[in-house]
Structure 1
């Protein structure tokens, strides 16, 4: 890989066309065909793109958020990722800034890599910022082992809307002070390893009910309300010193004279609010420009890329029309405008791209995950005494979980019929519940029949419920009628072990649910 030349030298040495190419960060996919890989290599060498954002496959990328296409499993994902990064760096005239969304580790995008807990789980560790720092640090080590310089996280959205379809578990919670505390620790952990971060999704995606991968969410609040809540974490972290801010695709009428223009391409919001009002001088990166909240409104190739740049974005993430975008920007932007962005981008490159990287092995998340499981386990309803009393009964254990992904609906419904027979004469039930999916679409993957069955159990039996997954899924269940409900947040073995220890009375539940469920 070529060495990063100093910023002052880059500003003199690069041609204007090369500088504009540096603004672009197209998507790269680890499951691409050889033909697609070569096309990206050509794009890098011919148009001097500045960086890449890695995704698992085209089927799992932003606009396929609802999973319409089948996702291919690649057992050697991590090696593929490392080899592709080396190939793409070789194709580049100037070193590429390599990024990925690793909010809970490389596992967010790359299978068979370390997975750390979701932000909502970390948010339940209200007294343990040191553990959150360690999570950031470990994730950064994994990024370095892959050749990644920039972790596009954390999410600092304050998730105050329990019907939020896209943030939810990715947020540290609904309390702005807890969000700031956890996000600061996470950022400092990542930075301690020399990896870059990006706080997102400015100006705040927490109070929305539309998924911006699919449509444009509207946040209809006054500017005073936004400053008080949504903008609060961004301001606090900017004051602490962050590398970059990612701007989301949101309609925020109170911050602009043009409410039809999404925040990601809105000069009032990026240049006016983020740069001028909030004093942010670092790199601004757009959320993925292929997301339907913006992409479906601009049919002229290159126009969206120009609008995003002109509004104040330095890095155009997941831009799909690079050749045309370069032409649009060359035609419309001033040299001063281009140089300002290049200076900011190049300073990030100088900071993050080093030739000496001793990190080659992936981390082992097990020990840290166990510690987080112990600190986050939350007694949501009932008391420890009630659970202790329950353990003396002749209880029956019932596990509701999808053990195979290709199970048919009929097989699942048949299973419910069997379970009904099993528990017919039981009075005390230990229910171990894992929602079929982490995302809230289609009731977290539950069928209505499953929800009805679980609620029937709760209302007719003595039920102690342990929940291994996104706590927002509990809104479908009558938890107030259980003997006790305990939230374990993740279905990792470490969290299951801690839940077992808690049930046996060997551990106290120390966590605090970081969101309201009603």
Structure 2
């Protein structure tokens, strides 16, 4: 049975939490200050002086917004934004034109324009239709050239600017060394903390050089967990020494280099705060003690979404937001009841749980960020030619380059294995996991003696047997394994007969494989380590399919390195280089 902290304990916890936390030996004295704090014009003070006490508290809240819902929901949100003079908006699913119209409407209701954010780890296509998606971070983790990741950050910044947004909740710098992690996984650059930090820095630089605030997450590190904090409260049972030497490293690295924002995860971490069932989001020792005092982070601290089960399971709405503010967060993301939360915070200030000095310091920090983002000279979003602006050819070129550079060759027996001259080889190309022909097949079949077959992920024994019989006619078989799901999980949702078929194909010397799926799925594909050729493209998209096909056409030399350890056959850093 889980126990929760009762209200009288909360007050005692906050009072005790205000005592200065003992500094650790590894305290960082000189951290890089975020750029937005260097802004020094009269705007911040002049705006601050116009705010009522209630409006100051309103600046601490970011509300969720969607552009794929009905007018009633838009009107309800508009009323809330106007009444509470909300400080920030986080956009989720919808379309770019409707989102821009709604944003213009919401901003018109505010005396201080809202700081607008999106959780767009792989670009605005993560949330909006008719826009561009870049590769997942696991795919980027295979790339050696971090300048390409910097370029991606710049392109994403262009999209944010065009859409009137200011904060990207990216990059993820969780070190993912747990194959069973249900929530980070493909969203991480990998298991090497140094590479995670370097690639996170490249992404951060691209965003911030493009005028968009980067927000590193999920502090203090969500990579080695097997519970999804959307559904429950993960516990990180590691020593302080382990956390310092691994999980905290990328955060420390980016803080020292001027990251604008840090998002705090919902995790229970006994080594940092022994309070039972307390999420890190609500922990003063973690946020004020470790993040602010030890790591000397001076930028904006964002909570993760406050409607997630990891934080709501043990604490009621209103109470949980109060705890988050008292712990040291600047911006409260996605409260389930903003009006109740604001009322709770005002009452807590009157009781002395939080001081106005603390609130004022946070409001001024938020206003400084708004000034850096250009909100001192707010302009509505121009919806004219918006689609064209968000679908630039330069973006497609970059995505293809990223896909090409990430392609990783894990197995390659000599091409001379085939005694038949290549022009005379008969080739079968199978796309497994697709319902129809693929880009991978079309590129391989162009002008070649190639026959294409499709095998759905739910195929049964009879269909597989008929295909297997046909394959005996071919000298060479190239198999594409496609995960068509929008989120590439560690396990393929293929039927057992299909998985067994892949194992049988792996034992045939004439068979080569291209995996357009999460690298961790290799652990599920028994015998794949015996394949004659195996290339990994990490995810399924037209760009990764073209990259994989280009390898078999001898148009591309793979340069990628596996960013995670899958099993004893496929370890982090693996990747053959072909020079001939």
**Partner SS state of residue 565, structure 2:** coil
| 2:396 is aligned with 1:366 | yes
Match of 2:81 among 25, 30, 44: 44
Conserved 8 A contact 2:490-2:521 = no
**Partner SS state of residue 284, structure 1:** strand
Conserved 8 A contact 1:436-1:446 = no
Change (3 A) 1:391 1:83: farther
Per the normalisation by structure 1, the TM-score is 0.89
* Greater CA drift, 393-402 or 321-330: 393-402
Q: Please give the residue correspondences for 1:296-315 in structure 2 after superposition, counting only pairs within 5 Å.
A: 296-299=313-316, 301-315=317-331
Q: Which residue of 1 aligns with 2:440?
A: none
Match of 1:421 among 466, 490, 510: 466
Give deviations 1:196-220, integer Å, cap 9, x for gaps: 1100000000001111111111111
Per the normalisation by structure 2, the TM-score is 0.80
**Partner SS state of residue 507, structure 1:** coil
Measure, in 2, the Cα distance between the counterparts of 1:412 and 1:498. 22
Measure, in 2, the Cα distance between the counterparts of 1:102 and 1:245. 15
Match of 1:277 among 294, 305, 323: 294
| 2:363 is aligned with 1:342 | yes
* Greater CA drift, 28-37 or 491-500: 491-500
**Partner SS state of residue 200, structure 1:** strand
Change (3 A) 1:111 1:241: same
Conserved 8 A contact 1:381-1:479 = no
Match of 1:431 among 471, 479, 482: 479
Measure, in 2, the Cα distance between the counterparts of 1:501 and 1:239. 41
Deviation at 1:417, TM superposition (A): 3.1
Deviation at 1:391, TM superposition (A): 8.8
Measure, in 2, the Cα distance between the counterparts of 1:506 and 1:384. 17
Q: Which residue of 1 aligns with 2:336?
A: 320
Give deviations 1:208-265, integer Å, cap 9, x for gaps: 1111111111111111111111000000000000111000111111111314211111
Conserved 8 A contact 1:157-1:205 = yes
Measure, in 1, the Cα distance between the counterparts of 2:417 and 2:266. 46
Measure, in 1, the Cα distance between the counterparts of 2:79 and 2:173. 36
Q: Please give the residue correspondences for 1:488-507 in structure 2 after superposition, counting only pairs within 5 Å.
A: 488-507=537-556
| 2:508 is aligned with 1:471 | no
Conserved 8 A contact 2:491-2:520 = no
| 2:143 is aligned with 1:125 | yes
Q: Which residue of 2 aligns with 1:59?
A: none
| 2:405 is aligned with 1:375 | yes
* Greater CA drift, 445-454 or 40-49: 445-454
Measure, in 2, the Cα distance between the counterparts of 1:307 and 1:442. 35
**Partner SS state of residue 177, structure 1:** helix
Q: Which residue of 2 aligns with 1:353?
A: 374
| 2:158 is aligned with 1:141 | yes
Give the number of aligned pairs: 489
Conserved 8 A contact 1:45-1:92 = yes
- Uncovered stretches (5+) of structure 2, i.e. residues with no partner: 1-40, 349-353, 437-454, 568-580
Conserved 8 A contact 2:277-2:314 = no
Measure, in 2, the Cα distance between the counterparts of 1:274 and 1:328. 25
Match of 1:200 among 217, 232, 251: 217
Q: Please give the residue correspondences for 1:72-471 in structure 2 after superposition, counting only pairs within 5 Å.
A: 77-126=95-144, 128-299=145-316, 301-332=317-348, 333-354=354-375, 355=378, 361-362=389-390, 363-364=392-393, 365-383=395-413, 385=415, 392=422, 393-403=425-435, 413-414=458-459, 417-424=462-469, 426=471, 428-437=476-485, 439=487, 443-459=491-507, 462-471=510-519
Conserved 8 A contact 1:220-1:253 = yes
Measure, in 2, the Cα distance between the counterparts of 1:487 and 1:390. 27
* Greater CA drift, 112-121 or 351-360: 351-360
Measure, in 2, the Cα distance between the counterparts of 1:10 and 1:186. 32
Deviation at 1:396, TM superposition (A): 1.9
Measure, in 1, the Cα distance between the counterparts of 2:407 and 2:458. 31
**Partner SS state of residue 398, structure 1:** strand
**Partner SS state of residue 139, structure 2:** helix
Q: Which residue of 2 aligns with 1:61?
A: none
Match of 1:510 among 533, 552, 559: 559
Measure, in 1, the Cα distance between the counterparts of 2:73 and 2:417. 56
Give deviations 1:411-436, integer Å, cap 9, x for gaps: 85446632431222535421111124
Deviation at 1:386, TM superposition (A): 7.1
